[in-house]
């Protein structure tokens, strides 16, 4: 186990020191009563066997305890004493098991919280370089297995404590036989180091195959319309079978290796018990009572001794899951380049200004070069241009999904990097071409991210976006469940619902990123009407391919290859006869 793995375990233990302390106390108490309930059998058997003298350390302890409570030592009171010890041990065992489970599932929850918070708060660029299936697998399967890893690590320490108590009992009965048994068991454990190395290897294979399986399932379910359109269901089913088979084989190899460890150790343990039985009778001449208790302790200790090897096997596999989580946490922190500002953003008075902005993902390949734009408050700016000209990237910079490579974006002369990101983004409403709707009610989708919105506020936003008309026609109106990604709605309806979601936030800036490019004529007209109602109270930035939606914009800029090549209003650009005029003529067949 690497230091980073220990650090992750240690971090959890520090945050749960009270629970760990209680667990250790319960385990210690359980071990003491476990030993006492078994150790008490020796004087009980000696009491039954009249040939034994009732002397020795066990009898001295019993006489002291019984005299302290004013009890006579009879066969019945000895039996009741053993029963009492057993009952207390069972109660402690139940409490101990409950705490173990609590710690395990708390650890799983903490890991999922940590990974999810790191992922959700990292920069958008991270998601361009990471497969969603890997993240799903980490948050579900690997977090659970890592929780099992902590459970195993803690239980190993607890088991060692219980074994220590057994060893004290065995040594008190026959130190010679105890030493022989320990030597044999230690040698057996060392002999299985090869199998444990294979456990680590198979554990990594299981994590990799889990990632591949989750990636495939997430990707295919996301592309289900394409799969059906291209009639490739059979091909995808065969692909899933191949990946699922690899996953099953990886889990089988890990599991069967563990079975091998158990089988070998059980065989060695059985031979050890037979050997001890022979030596104790033929060489050491132990009494039947002492031998019976010694063998009972060995039998009771055997599952705990075997579990140590099982835990070593499991932990070898779970380490791979733990490392997967550690890597995700490290990656998300590495990709977090956007530095949050401290100044709350509440309003602005004058304008948004883009000054000499350059941007590239990989230098020196510029996506934007020398962009200069001024957007007065309460006005509408439209951005047009061919695909790949940098329009959406410019909006990503305004939203601080990325930071400019050089230059600055200012609001009332203040660089947006100085603003608190959350307060700044809450002042922006975004409606994109690819609308995402949750499998929830209409009202919940409109109110997403906002608490305590009244029904009147939701309906008002729906009215402004012309969504109210189709919403009230739905079976449950605003309480209608929309299905996965809003599958029950048409494209135009989804766009109007997304616009309502943006409007209800009362944004200072409204960004429409090609929000009308795939709409029918009626939906486009309704969106245009909504924009005209909003234009007096909001600063609107609209990226559009369909020029009919932006003809009334206060200013239009045309972008090509990452630079602004034209700007003006609709009439000025038509008269100019440049790029905008060409686009207009192509769309209206002039």
Q: What are the phi and psi torsion angles at 558 (to 5°)? A: -115, 130
Over range 466-477, report the average pLDDT: 87
Most confident range (mean pLDDT) of 168-172, 192-196, 333-337, 474-478 is: 474-478
- pLDDT score of 561 more than 60: yes
Over range 492-510, report the average pLDDT: 85
Give the residue, 309 or 469, on which the prediction is more confident. Answer: 469
Structure tokens at 454: 């009244």
Over range 526-536, report the average pLDDT: 65
- pLDDT score of 50 more than 60: no
Question: Cα torsion at 79, 85, 89, 92 (round to 10°)?
Answer: 140
- pLDDT score of 22 more than 60: yes
- pLDDT value at position 224? 63
Confidence of residue 194 (pLDDT cuts 50, 70, 90): low
- pLDDT score of 474 more than 80: yes
H helix or E strand, kind and range, residue 117: helix 75-120
* Torsion sign across C-alpha atoms 99, 105, 108, 109: negative
Report the DSSP beta bridge partners of residue 410. 353, 415
DSSP letter string, 433-486: SS----SSBHHHHHTTT-SS--HHHHHHHHHHTT-HHHHTTSTTGGG-B--GGG
Over range 547-555, report the average pLDDT: 81
Confidence of residue 196 (pLDDT cuts 50, 70, 90): low
| Alpha-carbon gap, residue 500 to 356, rounded angstroms | 34
Q: What are the phi and psi torsion angles at 340 (to 5°)? A: -75, 145
- pLDDT value at position 11? 63
Which residues touch 510 (CB under 8 Å, ≥6 apart)? 428, 429, 431, 502, 503, 534, 538, 539, 540, 541
- pLDDT value at position 77? 78
- Tell me the pLDDT tens digit for each residue of 216-247: 777 676 666 566 656 677 777 787 788 888 87
- pLDDT score of 441 more than 60: yes
Q: Which of 300, 294, 296, 290 is nearest to 43 (CA)?
A: 290
- Half-sphere exposure (Cβ direction) of 442: Cα atoms closer than 13 Å: 28
| Alpha-carbon gap, residue 156 to 311, rounded angstroms | 7
Over range 88-108, report the average pLDDT: 81
- pLDDT value at position 45? 66
Confidence of residue 522 (pLDDT cuts 50, 70, 90): low
DSSP class of 565: E
- Exposed/middle/buried for residue 120 (C-beta within 10 Å: 0-12, 13-18, 19+): exposed
- Exposed/middle/buried for residue 64 (C-beta within 10 Å: 0-12, 13-18, 19+): exposed
Over range 484-503, report the average pLDDT: 81
How crowded is residue 195: how many other Cβ atoms within 10 Å of its Cβ?
18
Confidence of residue 13 (pLDDT cuts 50, 70, 90): low
- pLDDT score of 49 more than 70: no
170-174, 260-264, 507-511, 547-551: least confident range: 260-264
Strands 414-415 and 406-411: antiparallel
Over range 68-96, report the average pLDDT: 80
Task: Give the distance, in angstroms, between the CA of residue 54 and the centroid of all CA atoms in the same chain.
Answer: 62
Over range 191-196, report the average pLDDT: 66
33-42, 122-131, 339-348: least confident range: 33-42
| Alpha-carbon gap, residue 100 to 22, rounded angstroms | 10
| Alpha-carbon gap, residue 424 to 508, rounded angstroms | 10
| Alpha-carbon gap, residue 34 to 488, rounded angstroms | 62
Confidence of residue 356 (pLDDT cuts 50, 70, 90): very high
DSSP letter string, 401-442: SS--SEEEEEETTEEGGGB-HHHHHHTEEEEESS----SSBH
Q: Which of 84, 105, 138, 78 is nearest to 324 (CA)?
A: 138
Planar angle of CA 352, 353, 358, nearest 5 degrees: 130
Most confident range (mean pLDDT) of 7-11, 62-66, 238-242 is: 238-242
Report the DSSP beta bridge partners of residue 343. 419
- pLDDT score of 317 more than 80: no
161-175, 188-202, 252-266, 374-388: least confident range: 188-202
- pLDDT value at position 228? 62
- pLDDT score of 52 more than 60: no
How crowded is residue 385: how many other Cβ atoms within 10 Å of its Cβ?
24
As a whole number of Å, the CA-based R_g of the chain is: 36
Over range 354-371, report the average pLDDT: 85
- pLDDT value at position 289? 67
Q: What are the phi and psi torsion angles at 563 (to 5°)? A: -130, 155
- pLDDT value at position 230? 63
Over range 136-142, report the average pLDDT: 76
Over range 441-455, report the average pLDDT: 85
Q: Which of 20, 119, 41 is nearest to 327 (CA)?
A: 119
- pLDDT value at position 355? 92
Question: Cα torsion at 340, 346, 351, 356 (round to 10°)?
Answer: 0
Report the DSSP beta bridge partners of residue 555. 381
Over range 460-473, report the average pLDDT: 86
| Alpha-carbon gap, residue 23 to 96, rounded angstroms | 6
């Amino acid at each position: 186990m690497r230091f980073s793995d220990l650090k992750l375990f240690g971090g959890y233990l520090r945050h749960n020191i009270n629970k760990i302390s209680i667990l250790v106390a319960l385990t210690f108490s359980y071990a003491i009563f476990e030993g006492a309930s078994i150790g008490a059998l020796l004087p009980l058997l000696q009491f039954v066997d009249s040939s034994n003298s009732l002397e020795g350390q066990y009898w001295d302890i019993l006489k002291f305890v019984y005299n302290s409570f004013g009890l006579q030592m009879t066969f019945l009171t000895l039996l009741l004493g053993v029963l009492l010890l057993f009952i207390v041990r069972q109660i402690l065992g139940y409490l101990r098991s409950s705490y173990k489970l609590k710690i395990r599932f708390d650890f799983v929850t903490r890991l999922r919280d940590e990974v999810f918070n790191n992922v959700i708060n990292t920069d958008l660029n991270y998601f361009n370089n990471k497969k969603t299936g890997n993240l799903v697998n980490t948050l579900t399967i690997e977090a659970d297995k890592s929780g099992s890893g902590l459970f195993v690590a803690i239980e190993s320490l607890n088991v060692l404590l219980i074994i220590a108590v057994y060893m004290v009992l065995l040594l008190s009965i026959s130190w010679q036989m105890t030493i022989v048994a320990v030597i044999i068991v230690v040698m057996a454990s060392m002999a299985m180091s090869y199998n444990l190395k294979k456990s680590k290897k198979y554990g990594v294979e299981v994590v990799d195959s889990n990632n591949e399986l989750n990636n495939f399932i997430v990707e295919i379910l996301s592309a289900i319309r394409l799969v059906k359109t291209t009639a490739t269901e059979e091909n995808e089913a065969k692909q899933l079978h191949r990946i699922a088979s690899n996953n099953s084989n990886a889990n089988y190899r890990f599991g069967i290796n563990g079975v091998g460890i158990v089988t070998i150790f059980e065989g060695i343990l059985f031979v050890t018990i037979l050997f001890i039985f022979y030596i104790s009778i033929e060489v050491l001449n132990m009494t039947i009572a002492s031998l019976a208790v010694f063998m009972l302790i060995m039998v009771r200790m055997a599952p705990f001794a075997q579990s140590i090897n099982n835990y070593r096997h499991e932990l070898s596999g779970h380490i791979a899951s733990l490392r997967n989580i550690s890597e995700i946490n490290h990656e998300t922190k590495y990709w977090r380049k956007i530095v949050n500002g401290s100044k709350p953003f509440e309003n602005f008075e004058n304008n948004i200004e883009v000054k000499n902005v350059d941007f590239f993902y990989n230098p020196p390949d510029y996506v934007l070069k020398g962009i200069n734009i001024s957007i007065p408050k309460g006005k509408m700016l439209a951005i047009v241009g061919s695909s790949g000209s940098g329009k959406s990237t410019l909006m990503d910079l305004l939203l601080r999904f990325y930071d400019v490579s050089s230059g600055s974006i200012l609001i009332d002369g203040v660089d947006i990097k100085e603003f608190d990101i959350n307060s700044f983004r809450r002042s922006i409403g975004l409606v994109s071409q690819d609308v995402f709707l949750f499998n929830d009610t209409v009202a919940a989708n409109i109110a997403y991210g906002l608490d305590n919105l009244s029904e009147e506020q939701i309906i008002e936003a729906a009215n402004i976006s012309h969504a109210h008309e189709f919403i009230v026609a739905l079976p449950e109106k605003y309480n209608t469940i929309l299905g996965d990604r809003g599958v029950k709605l048409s494209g135009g309806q989804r766009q109007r619902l997304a616009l309502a979601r943006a409007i209800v936030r009362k944004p200072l800036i409204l960004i429409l990123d090609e929000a009308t490019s795939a709409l029918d004529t009626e939906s486009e007209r309704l969106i245009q009407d909504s924009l005209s109602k909003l234009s007096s109270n909001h600063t609107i930035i609209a990226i559009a391919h369909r020029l009919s939606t932006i003809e009334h914009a206060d200013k239009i800029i045309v972008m090509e290859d990452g630079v602004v090549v034209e700007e003006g209003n609709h009439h000025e650009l038509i008269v100019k006869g440049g790029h905008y005029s060409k686009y207009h003529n192509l769309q209206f067949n002039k």
